[in-house]
Structure 1
């Protein structure tokens, strides 16, 4: 294969022409033997290279006339199947396929001539143009255009496929495109002219084309090149046996033996060998590597699973069967053990569930679960006892529509605002101090409840659990306590008025005396006959003024001692202070106390019960009056202050210049029956504290940096004041 036909001597050409003429003359009289040859480089090249071999056989075996039939890759199987050829010379991949399918058998194997050295193996070469800087190794084939000879070409595709599979590249999936040129020369030309990025052909093709001048030296780069000292051609794959010369089943065995002997006896100097560019023929090699390649790639004849009988399996895998049986026996033992464990776990689970239910049912509070759709998933016994709803009524039903559908005022309670829903939607626990649940009989019950999200093992929220308590008894007790406090406050007011009776009688006596005196003076003026009008008017104005004064005192007394309805109104603290000072004016004057009013006229209104706050102010002022009775009269000062506390509350301060409270007594000032007075009951401050607490305010004693006592109380600003 090192010398091309163009370089052979004219004498050799003349000899071959004579042989061809002689063969054609003899062909008319002798039987024809057809040799099918794979035309992997085109029909013309195939006839040129292999016709001398046919002539050689015709000369050595004159009883037969041998001819060459070029076959492309798709014509081979029909020719073998139909018996249109008697012998076959193809690549090892096609031979193995035909061997399995049609029982052809190899008789000799080609001994190729490579650089004047005989070789009976070949491989595949993967190449690209040397100026392609982006393709330097086999891994660079990803996303490139690959051209091969044919799907059935062993050296021109299948060997390359096997090498690419080793590095994880599937030529059908990992390349941009996979094309087939049909011949080795077409593949080389496609890469040479840039129509393909990478090509693959059998070994020796590139060297022959370069020697013939079709390509230039160094024009191509070999990818994944392997080194083999005994194989001089560049190759990218492992080496496989060369092309076999095979007989078909219908070919006579005697003819096959004579052909095999003739080919084995062919000298390397025989013109047929030189035209075919080979060094002769040798005995067949082992083709198992070719079988392995086709089997690994699942190519014909290994594209279908083989029949595999039970006896084949036992013979081939008997030790695996023993291991499997031992494993099955072990698994049987383990399964029985797991079944027993599972039964014990089920029993334990059942006991835990019973204990869980007993624990839930032993709790006096109602407990029920809710899924993400708002349906109840479980309830305890207390839920039925409190609400009347049974488990079959609640479980699987929407708990909001049964328990929480309506507010106290009768308006619908939308589910979007339900704290139970918001718990698992926002993932935050909630506590509701007071709300309504609805019983099965249609009545409502006041409840307090908490709602806590439930999470699964992955931390995802799957619902919530609600724990609620009926607070009817507590609300009744709170109402009874409130009524008691009101009665106690009323009694305290009556007691206070009793203590103030003498002072109030004197205070009323003054305007009444003034009215009587003025009335007498008015009568005398009228009896004089011609009374002066201006003097009569002055006297009547005096009577009117004193009457209004007496009426105001009496009205204030009536309001203070009467029982007030438990309702809050918007009141002005400064006005309440003035009302109380009107009642206490006799005591203040009698005690010689100077009153200082430091009242903020801009303070907002507060939401309070009028009389109760009057009572608090009166109690604190009377305590201050009594505290200052022990000091000199000129030092007795009562200061009343009001201030706004950030727009949310109003602070009222009652300050005196008395001795202040003892340190031991300060922590107990607001306890019932605690007093520093010899004649007091110790209920005034306790009642005042209860009243302020009921108004959501705060009453405290402030003795820091002040000589005397300071009592302060705060009241929240009404919503109407905030809106203004």
Structure 2
């Protein structure tokens, strides 16, 4: 029994029949047959091709009046049946079409048959045509409703799918497209039918360079018959914009197994790309934070190691620097205790003065350590006052000469008198430590130059000696607490003087420079600003 593919009712317009043809994969048109009377033999009456319909649709002035006409009302627009193969009967014409050589295949044509029961559309494959000929009737069968229901279900599935789905014939022309596909690329479904999908949405790479059809995985399915799945390309919209897609091209075969086209499914993966980019950025941020934290831990570990080394040097220094004066004090006390009646008053006074000097030395050393701690903990801030710099420098020299009578310090100033707003205690500590170092590491007969320069923006204090100098390898660590030069030998010292100088100068917003040559001497140059708002610096509570 014949299996009708579609039943068209008599009131169908051209638009309805055209829509049925366009949405039926693999068709190129309809052969219209009919009879003068109900029981007369059927004969060819004309042809409607999908190409015709496509041309009409492109011309609104022609399509609008034609689209509403019924098939019978537009007979003058049919192509004449003779274009098939002369004046043939229906059976002869279809047999001729179906028997053409394989190198000139003719895609299936639908047969539109006007009958009293309605218009019927059939696929004229040899088997189906044989069934129709044997039955002797081309009237719709009882299976029409079932097939129509299946077609509607298939259309419902395609129209409801969230993914874009479209079909291509063997030439790469669109045979159907679901609403999701049309919506994603900005075209209407009707605009897509019969056009090259590659030219519409897959013509360029993401960088807008041409994408040849011969390299397109979608069209490769026509050549190799394999399913091609691509996860990272772009499709182009009608407005010229693009969006990332993942698509699958699946080849279609007819009942003889021949490749007749492909079905393509695709999805917009913009949100997935955003998520991947966000995840990648999160990973990069996390990695950067880990690196930063690792660097912080490494710095903290290095600082801890430096602190441990400093503690070790401090303990060593304290043991050494305290042991000597304590032994001296112990020896002096023992002598006074045992031999006081045998010592003259001058000898007794000399022992007492030695004890006092050693106690003063240890007290100063403890004060230096405490000062280093206070500056590191930001517990110390400048307390500026009006002072006269020339007088201050001369007072420091006199103070040093009380304990270093052999020291030869020559003071020079480019101004006879200069008032300044500085912390007098900090300035005194800076100058005392600079001059004490110069005295300590120089011979008594060597001259120490002490200069005061009053510049426009700075007060400059220079101390130049002719002592042992500082080795080049020690200079980077010159201001580290407890660090001493490798050439100091047995010269006593704590390694705190220059560290104190540097911290006090920083608190006064100044700078210190050093130039030195081993065996030739050292010059320290301290610059303190003439105008500085010390109230901006406040100690940490």
With structure 2 as the length reference, what TM-score do the two structures score? 0.34
With structure 1 as the length reference, what TM-score do the two structures score? 0.26
